[in-house]
Structure 1
Amino acid sequence: MTSTNPPALQLYTLRDQLAGDRPGVLGRVAALGYGAVEVFDVLSDTRGLRDDLARAGLTVCSVHATLSADQLPEVVEAARTLGTDTVIVPYVPPERFSDADGIGELARELNEAARRLAGDGMRLGYHNHAFELSTIVGGRPALEVLADGLDDDVLLEVDTYWAAVGGQDVPALLGRLGERVRYLHVKDGPLTEGEPNVAVGTGRMPVAEIVAASPSATWHIVEFDQCATDLLTAVGDSLAWLADQGLAQPVARGAGT
């Protein structure tokens, strides 16, 4: 199932390369056929990043940002500058998922942050790692317990690889989480924590089945946490495989764009 949105890349994938030549790397990402990116470092040189993305012809589908009360106005302004209305919390400490009370408190905090963002015309999401799925609370994965406590307008960005590493049947998980899932991190690998990711379609993830299981996910975002081969090659091979399977539509760019 091809999303109507262009294929996207989480820029954390290329964090080391971007530090050396951001304009050049973003240009290569665009040339591979990606149309959008997800930004992980939203407060550093926001305007410079905006300008480099514009020159490359890339839009921003969302940003990852920790929402401390004192930084919230800066995050909102940065997201606006980058042209997105979606802020996703990328991580909270695992101990917050240790029991139902802790999860309930986290849900209340996320709901309050979402209300504050809504006042600025923005929406909030939450991104998982493995521990939210491997931790079982009341007989259910902790992420599902959290989802039950979230207001309807708080979305989920499911990192499908981490969910699998956390022991979940990912298509079944996505079916249970339902329409709250609006973003998918699409990645592949050996399903062993600490081992590098591989190009999408060359590892153990049932990627096509996963994408089909979440029709509500309008953004499919390729990501590598680490990679043992040339990253830009793997990033390009991932999109080529997704396109081959009818799961992505690369952005065609003419010479000089």
Structure 2
Amino acid sequence: MATPTASVQLYTLAKEFTADMGGSLDKLAAIGLTRVEAFDFVGRAPALRQALDASGLSAPTGHAPLLSDTLWTPDGEIPTPAPEVVFEAAATAGIHTVIDPFVPAERWATREGVDDIAARLNAASEVAKTFGLEVGYHNHAQEFVATIDGRTAYEYAISQLDASVKLELDLFWALVGDQDVVELTRGLGDRLLAVHVKDGIKLPNPWAPGGGDFASTALDQRHAGTAEVPLADALRANDAIELAVIEYDNAPGDVFADIAASYSFLIEQGLAR
């Protein structure tokens, strides 16, 4: 199999990264990582690029909203940046693939909603090409609730996407969505650019009917290879995967030690380099 490169989603260490960008990146480099996945980069792209360069790291992928008109913040909804603004910032930071990280569950509930998501991804991809970039989508579990034409809303959306649109499969959330994670990984073929390497104890899909409220702080997430997600089999199921991106929504202990443990699993199992 082709060996993906290990990375880490910087949201995992959001508090530490915001407090000390350079120091946090230096700690990741000391673990052995050479790649990271950016978040919230639009307003700090030059500083991010400078810190990455200083630490000897790069961010081939980054998360930013592309498919929603507004973005939730603790102070209320605000308009999302125009795609051109996002892509200009991505280019400044050295990001090649901009990945939308979340579309609310209600938009995945109907054919019309999913058609709109796919159309927006295709349109964003065309704009990204003018910057020499590409776009992708990162799932949670709401994409696997509705069924359209005998397929999950996620699979239906993929059937509507241009071949240039990439996917980043969050393996933990796909399991929470009651998917056969290994078969899903295999079936996504060449458009599967990256996976989120995340392990933990499966919970009922919080976006399914009767799923109830949940908080990320209540998630029982553990070091890669120690819980219920078939990470190794999934990574071996698709040779197109270029990036194995470590992420915790709720790190169980010291975040840098937790990242190091998952990185060691990937390297020792020959699942990433």
Q: So what's the TM-score if we normalise by structure 2? A: 0.86
Q: Is the 8 A contact 2:2 2:239 kept in 1?
A: no
**Number of residue-to-residue matches in the alignment:** 248
Q: Does the 8 Å contact 2:186/2:234 carry over to 1?
A: no
DSSP 3-state at the match of 1:44: helix
The answer on 1:180 being equivalent to 2:191 is yes
C-alpha contact (below 8 Å) 2:91/2:131 kept by paired residues: no
Offset of 1:142 from its aligned partner?
1.1
- Asked whether the equivalents of residues 7 and 34 of structure 1 are also in contact (C-alpha less than 8 Å), the reply is yes
The answer for the alignment partner of 1:244 in structure 2 is 268
Describe how 1:1-257 pairs up with structure 2 within 5 A. Answer: 1=1, 3=3, 6-67=5-66, 70-192=81-203, 194-249=218-273
Cα offset, 1:46, TM superposition: 1.6
The aligned counterpart of 2:73 is: none
Residues in 2 aligned to 1:19 and 1:101: alpha-carbon distance in whole angstroms = 38
Contact 1:152/1:180 (8 A) holds in 2: yes
Q: Please state whether the residue corresponding to 2:43 is helix, strand or coil.
A: coil
Partner SS for 2:199: coil
CA distance in 2, matches of 1:245, 1:191: 23
- Find the aligned partners of 2:112 and 2:162 in 1 and give their Cα distance: 17
| Contact 2:84/2:127 (<8 A) preserved | no
Q: Give the whole-Å Cα distance in 2 for the aligned partners of 1:103 and 1:90.
A: 15
Letter in 1 for 2:229: M
Q: How much does 1:2 deviate?
A: 5.5
Quote the Cα distance in structure 1 between the aligned partners of 2:118 and 2:224. Answer: 32
Contact kept? 1:189, 1:203, Cα under 8 Å: yes
Quote the residue 1:253 is aligned against.
none
Give the structure with the larger strand fraction: 2
Give, in angstroms, the shift of residue 70 of structure 1. 4.9
Question: What is the Cα deviation at residue 20 of structure 1?
Answer: 2.0
Q: Specify every segment of 5 or more residues in structure 1 that has no aligned partner in the other structure, as ranges.
A: 250-257
Moved over 4 A (4+): none
- Amino acid paired to 1:29: L
- State the distance in 1 between where 2:131 and 2:154 align: 27
Distance 1:172 1:229 in 2: 31
Quote the sequence identity (%): 37
Query: Is 2:41–2:48's contact at 8 Å kept on the other side of the alignment?
Result: no
- After TM superposition, give the deviation of residue 45 of structure 1 in Å: 2.0
Give the aligned residue type for 1:48: A
